[in-house]
Amino acid sequence: MPLKPLVTKSFAKLNLYLQVLNKRKDNFHNLSTLFARIDLADTIIFRKRPDSLIKIKCDSRQVPKDKTNLCYRAAALLKQELKLSLGIEIELKKCIPVGAGLGGGSTNAASVLLGLNRFWNLNLPKTRLVKLGAKLGSDVPFFIHQTKFALGSLRGDKIKPLISLGKLKLWFILVYPNFKVSTPLIYQKFDSYLSAGRSFSQLTRPRGNVKILTSQLLKKGKAVDAHCLFNGLEVITSNLYPVVNQVKNALSGMGLDKVMMSGSGPAVFAICDSCMQAQSLRSKLRKQYKSWQVFVVSTV
């Protein structure tokens, strides 16, 4: 009897805090970050194949369907590591904007590892999946943990789930100004800035740190000091793409003070007091800025 298709959700993330600490010998960077998983999600459908091939289907022209696709790479890695001859069709229905700083590719890779672990009855422990995920991308281990909030260190791939924040629900207005940003390019520009003789402290001056932000979330819930939100890549991305500051200014102009870019951008979010406030702001933004994609999202 053929296996029924398996349908899974692949959630996006925001970085509520992102500090680049230093460059590593492997050319990656050591980070200190606070991840928040949000309910903006892609859908991934797994279907059995009669052969040993990996086939990718996707409704987005921006997503490659070949061996460079992260879903393909995740499935191929599992097959290689476990010497499997199984085939799979992976259908990806995109809702997370591509190249937005929201972890779209990474969450898809994680969902394929988790999904195929179930679909193929592999029974691999989470620790093994996390190690495999780290080979595919620095953000992948966060999504493997399937947690609402987590601290990330090293390349961002060493994850400490924050179970104590499990009941906290944050609402956000999220704006994607409809263009892709290359994460490697942003880090390259970051390094160029440093090689010009400027220090990390000149480039990134957080007034708080990730522990202070985590403590505030734990004690105050939504009442977080705006200066504790921090993204050290924001100055680089906004210099290259001034529209990032335009989005930030639009949100600030609506009375929001907890406004920040996620990841390497260009998506910008603001913490809202409620779902109702976020929906009201979304309506205004959509009328005023028709070229932007505007979402109301919450932690999940």
Positions marked catalytic: 13, 139
The DSSP call for residue 299 is: B
Residue 105: other Cβ atoms inside 10 A: 23
Interatomic CA distance for residues 295 and 292, integer angstroms: 10
Residue 266: other Cβ atoms inside 10 A: 26
Verify cis geometry, omega within 30 degrees of 0, for the bond prior to 266: yes
Q: At what angle do helices 126-136 and 70-82 cross, to 10 degrees?
A: 130
The DSSP call for residue 20 is: E
Query: For residue 271, which amino acid is it?
Result: I
Interacting residues of 60 by C-beta distance below 8 A, sequence separation 6+? 92, 94, 98
* Assigned token pair, 42: 């892609």
The DSSP call for residue 97 is: P
What number of helices (H) and strands (E) belong to the chain? 10, 11
Residue 196: other Cβ atoms inside 10 A: 7
3-class secondary structure, 81: helix
* Assigned token pair, 8: 């899974």
Burial of 282 (0-12, 13-18, 19+ CB in 10 A): middle
Contact 208, 285 (CB under 8 A): no
